[in-house]
Amino acid sequence: MKLSHDVLEALLLALPYHNDVINVPEPEPCMAQGVMLNLILLLIFCLSAVDSQFPRVCTTEAAFLTKSCCPLWKDKSPCGSLSGRGRCRNWLTFTGKEVLQNDDRLDWPRHYYENTCECHGNFSGFDCGDCKFGLHGEKCERKKEIVRRELRELTFLEQKRLFSYLALAKTTKSRDFVILSTGDRFHRQTYRFVDASLYDVFVWMHYYSMKAILRNSTFDPNKNFAHQGPVFPGWHRLNLLFLERQIQLMTGDEDFAIPYYDWRGEKNCSICTDDLLGTNDAQGVLNPYSHFSFWKAVCSGFNFPDEYCPLADLEQKMERLHRKPGATPYAPNLPSFQDVENILKLSNFDTPPFNETSLLSFRNALEGFLSPDGVTLRRSMHNLVHIYLGGTMSQIPISSNDPIFIFHHSFVDKIFETWITRYDASPTLYPDNSEVGHGPEDCATPYFPCYKNRDLIHKSMTFGYQYSSFPLK
């Protein structure tokens, strides 16, 4: 269907890189296989098996009519309640701070659903059919610990496996999730849910959550649900956990861990080689012999506040990835070792007014509206890296289309984790604030089930992963 033409093209070009047999566990329908032919067959199978992040089962008319997203689990009960996995809960406790106006994301997910699954104990997932991050097994009783390593610490074979997994994630249609594509945010009847690959669901989450907030028919560009406030580190942590988990489920490789890119003190993007992320020409076009040169950027080509992702299923309209490391005078260098040391000295997680003007705020310095000295408002850290890399990465709403995003954010998360460890931080450090979508009790947007923003400040082992060479030195 939508993906297939370019997917095939991409796979053919990627052949020299992906046709080695690698250690992929037994495939199930829509699962990984390292071998090219199987990949194509599986792909065709996956794309045709179902018709066309929202849980797919919750986008039926009935679900919207009853405002209920409590899917039946294997035991035929909502949220697996008969098996004690969870229950269908009416969230009378949604924050309710603001009357719902035009924006469908306010008080997530109340606009769409009043009933969603609340999972018990070790269970999680939109239907409580999965385990909490860091647990596995039939009853989710077994702990697991995966280690995220520097991209260049991986062996050659591990790197190949990583790129195969990413190629699969980009081409395998998500069974569980569809994405919202709409031409007009003022008119809900234009809202449409369409299929997307696992990787594109991940990209869309970032795009969707960072659109300007629409209130009383006015767009507020200084506020969104993933940036410019205390949710920034936790939201992105959850975003990576989501992708990591989806790749684990797709491949059956429970040990899959997202690597990171330690950019401190680099003179240029040293992972932008054709073996890894790809070189580029002066126009920013990626070398056709690199892994991601034929990837298309979902939700690219427009960024108007009054629409979401209207071309989400029109692949021919999407742009290819672009990258131009070091080309912009606005971001002449990557952050230094000293910069990272300095932001780690900021002991306040975040400070009033909890936006991009916050001073002495670890969050704002890490996000990069504040310089590492904590007192000057100047582009740094996370933002600086996006702008430095240029191209797709510098168009922040669609930036996660470039897989370098995940390695960058994995390192940002490593800095966050170093800070959590240094200050023995816990959810109680998450500040009370009334910024829309950034409250400690608000559900991170647009995830299922609800993850409260403050609950993302925990040591990473709570989520079953840790970093190599930790803490940062």
Ligand X SMILES: *[C@@H]1O[C@H](CO)[C@@H](O)[C@H](O)[C@H]1NC(C)=O
* Residue (123 or 447) nearer to ligand X, CB: 123
* Residue (326 or 471) nearer to ligand X, CB: 326
**DSSP assignment letter at 317:** G
* Residue (307 or 435) nearer to ligand X, CB: 435
Smallest Cα–Cα separation from 203: which of 388, 395, 42, 337?
395
Is residue 143 close enough to count as binding ligand X by CB under 6 A? yes
Nearest distance, CB of residue 467 and ligand X, angstroms: 21
Q: Which of 20, 75, 141, 341 binds ligand X (CB under 6 A)?
A: 141
Cβ count near 64 (within 10 Å): 15
Instruction: State both tokens at 263.
Output: 């950019």
Nearest distance, CB of residue 284 and ligand X, angstroms: 9
Binding mask 326-345 for ligand X (x = CB under 6 A): x-------------------
**DSSP assignment letter at 193:** E
**DSSP assignment letter at 220:** E
Q: Which of 77, 172, 209, 280 binds ligand X (CB under 6 A)?
A: 280
Is residue 422 close enough to count as binding ligand X by CB under 6 A? no
Q: For residue 87, give the 3-state DSSP assignment.
A: strand
Cβ–Cβ under 8 Å, residues 360 and 366? no
Nearest distance, CB of residue 2 and ligand X, angstroms: 30
Footprint (CB under 6 A) of ligand X, residues 107-136: 121-122, 135
* Residue (109 or 229) nearer to ligand X, CB: 229
Nearest distance, CB of residue 279 and ligand X, angstroms: 5
Question: What φ, ψ does residue 211 adopt, rounded to 5°?
Answer: -65, 150
The piece of 88-96, 137-145, 294-302, 450-458 that touches ligand X (CB under 6 A) is 137-145
Is residue 144 close enough to count as binding ligand X by CB under 6 A? no
The whole-angstrom separation of Cα 16 and Cα 426 is: 47
The whole-angstrom separation of Cα 289 and Cα 28 is: 30
Smallest Cα–Cα separation from 339: which of 364, 372, 367?
372
Nearest distance, CB of residue 366 and ligand X, angstroms: 17
Chain centroid to Cα 256, Å, comes to 16
The whole-angstrom separation of Cα 447 and Cα 171 is: 22
Question: What φ, ψ does residue 236 adopt, rounded to 5°?
Answer: -70, -30
* Residue (14 or 334) nearer to ligand X, CB: 334
Kindly provide the residue ranges of all beta strands, DSSP E only, lying in 284-373, ordered along the sequence. Answer: 296-297, 319-320
Nearest distance, CB of residue 407 and ligand X, angstroms: 14
Is residue 139 close enough to count as binding ligand X by CB under 6 A? yes
Q: For residue 186, give the 3-state DSSP assignment.
A: coil
* Residue (83 or 122) nearer to ligand X, CB: 122
Is residue 183 close enough to count as binding ligand X by CB under 6 A? no
The piece of 138-146, 302-310, 451-459, 463-471 that touches ligand X (CB under 6 A) is 138-146
Is residue 252 close enough to count as binding ligand X by CB under 6 A? no
Cβ count near 39 (within 10 Å): 23
**For residue 375, how many C-alpha atoms fall within 13 Å in the half-sphere facing its CB?**
1
Nearest distance, CB of residue 61 and ligand X, angstroms: 30
Nearest distance, CB of residue 334 and ligand X, angstroms: 11
* Residue (85 or 454) nearer to ligand X, CB: 85
Q: How far is CA 195 from CA 2, 14, 46, 212, in A?
A: 9, 24, 11, 24
Cβ count near 437 (within 10 Å): 24
Footprint (CB under 6 A) of ligand X, residues 260-279: 268-269, 272, 279
* Residue (28 or 141) nearer to ligand X, CB: 141
Cβ–Cβ under 8 Å, residues 199 and 298? no
* Residue (58 or 269) nearer to ligand X, CB: 269
Query: Residue 138 carries which side chain, given as an amino acid letter?
Result: E
Footprint (CB under 6 A) of ligand X, residues 353-412: 353, 355-357
Is residue 222 close enough to count as binding ligand X by CB under 6 A? yes
* Residue (313 or 442) nearer to ligand X, CB: 442
Kindly provide the residue ranges of all beta strands, DSSP E only, lying in 230-344, ordered along the sequence. Answer: 296-297, 319-320
Nearest distance, CB of residue 358 and ligand X, angstroms: 8
Number of residues located near ligand X, criterion CB under 6 A: 21
Cβ–Cβ under 8 Å, residues 208 and 214? no
The piece of 303-311, 351-359, 440-448, 450-458 that touches ligand X (CB under 6 A) is 351-359
* DSSP class per residue in 300-339: -S---TT-S-TTTT-GGGSEEPB--TT--TTS-SPPPHHH
Interface residue list for ligand X (CB under 6 A): 121-122, 135, 139, 141-143, 215-216, 222, 268-269, 272, 279-280, 325-326, 353, 355-357
